[in-house]
Amino acid sequence: MKITKISVYQVDLPLKEGRYSWADGKFVECFDSTVVEISTDAGVTGFGEVCPLGPFYLPAYGPGARTGIAELAPHIMGEDPTAVGRIELIMDRALLGHSYVKSALDMACWDILGKQAGLPVSQLFGGCHGEAVDLYRAISQEDPETMARKILGYRDEGYRKFQLKVGGNPDADIERIRATRKALDGGEVLVADANTGWLMHEAARVIDAVSDLDVYIEQPCKSYEECLTLRRRTARPFILDENIDSLQAFLRAFGDGAVDAINLKISKVGGLSKARRLRDLAVSLGVAMTIEDSWGGDIVTAAIAHLAHSTPARFRFSSTDFNSYVKVSTAEGAPQRVDGKMKAPQGPGLGIAPRRESLGDPVAVYD
């Protein structure tokens, strides 16, 4: 089988809630997503998606994904997409870094391999564990009362895990965490995710002020060194996200005892191939994961579901159903949240079929 054509689509994904806000005044109202379609001489086609969380969350942005795909397309044209490991190597040799750019192409190759094998990607990744995957709901940064009140609606949707967007004014953040924890039941999980937004002294104040609460602290400061210092000063369970952008970064954090859990995002580490490798290592080392991506629509959500559902249940801290946050559906067959959980699609590959009317015409075609 050979790759004969790569079509690239740009899709706007506006948010149902209007705006998603996090640390340091950052927000997004409409996500810029990139969908790739890889065509082959065997008539099998595969789809992948990459959707950065705006241009200022990670070193990634929408037009950058499409520029990078233009750079990579000639290198994988004519190659066998079912040789996913070889495609990964070719992309890493052709373009140093820029991990997120490779994610949609890698995802589309897994979709093709699954379709060719007649198996869902979750099966290629080791098979599903349990009935469904628990989801968390991110709570956009607002005033403390609003954030605590929103818990009630999200709970009606079945969520039992909540990720509070903090990393703002430390005094307001202390109130955000205390008000939200008060609104929760004992069995419900609360993560305070600062998304690198605090300086050391601010993080130290907030973490100390909530030391009597059942709350996880996620990525308080920008650098790994700052986070490690804070981690060593607190008994709160500790999660790193932005700093865990590679297998090497994870191994360093594990070796330093810097994490109780990690946030594994597919495009942050360069695609499903690398995410699956990191996932398997984390399971071997006994580290639980939030398995998700930066953002995305139906295709990313399906990929998350395959990776998460094929992870042993104990190691699934949570996952995200991004397709429920946005107004546009780009594919049929994508996971739908039921009672705060989702399942990996059962069909071969990613188990989804694109909605052509949502993708529109390709913005670039390489053949």
Which spans of this chain sit near Mg ion (rule: CB under 5 A)?
Answer: 193, 241, 263
* Rounded Cα gap, residues 319 and 337, in angstroms: 11
Residue of 265, 268, 274, 343 with catalytic role: 265
Whether 274 sits among the annotated catalytic residues: the reply is no
**DSSP class of 24:** G
Burial of 197 from C-beta contacts in 10 A (0-12 / 13-18 / 19+)? buried
Burial of 43 from C-beta contacts in 10 A (0-12 / 13-18 / 19+)? exposed
* Rounded Cα gap, residues 69 and 104, in angstroms: 9
- Min dist CB 308 to Mg ion, Å, is 16
- Min dist CB 249 to Mg ion, Å, is 14
- Min dist CB 4 to Mg ion, Å, is 38
Q: Per this entry, what is the length of the chain?
A: 367
3-state secondary structure 74-123: HHHCCCCCCCHHHHHHHHHHHCCCCHHHHHHHHHHHHHHHHHHHCCEHHH
Measured CA to CA in angstroms, residue 269 lies from 35, 128, 192, 218 at distances of 18, 22, 23, 18
Handedness of CA 89, 93, 99, 105 (dihedral sign): negative
Do strands 27-28 and 20-21 pair parallel, antiparallel, or not at all (unpaired)? antiparallel
- Min dist CB 320 to Mg ion, Å, is 10
* Rounded Cα gap, residues 195 and 22, in angstroms: 7
- Min dist CB 219 to Mg ion, Å, is 5
| Number of neighbours of residue 169 by Cβ within 10 angstroms | 13
Residue of 115, 165, 274, 341 with catalytic role: 165
25/360 with CB nearer Mg ion = 25
32/193 with CB nearer Mg ion = 193
| Amino acid in position 65 | A
- Min dist CB 189 to Mg ion, Å, is 14
Whether 150 sits among the annotated catalytic residues: the reply is no
| Amino acid in position 17 | E
| Number of neighbours of residue 56 by Cβ within 10 angstroms | 13
Measured CA to CA in angstroms, residue 256 lies from 6, 150, 229, 245, 250 at distances of 42, 36, 11, 16, 10
37/193 with CB nearer Mg ion = 193
**DSSP class of 223:** S
110/315 with CB nearer Mg ion = 315
Nearest position to Mg ion, beta carbon: 241
* Rounded Cα gap, residues 65 and 295, in angstroms: 13
- Min dist CB 57 to Mg ion, Å, is 9
| Helix H or strand E encompassing 264 | strand 261-265
* Rounded Cα gap, residues 26 and 23, in angstroms: 6
241/298 with CB nearer Mg ion = 241
111/242 with CB nearer Mg ion = 242
122/195 with CB nearer Mg ion = 195
Annotated catalytic residues are: 165, 265
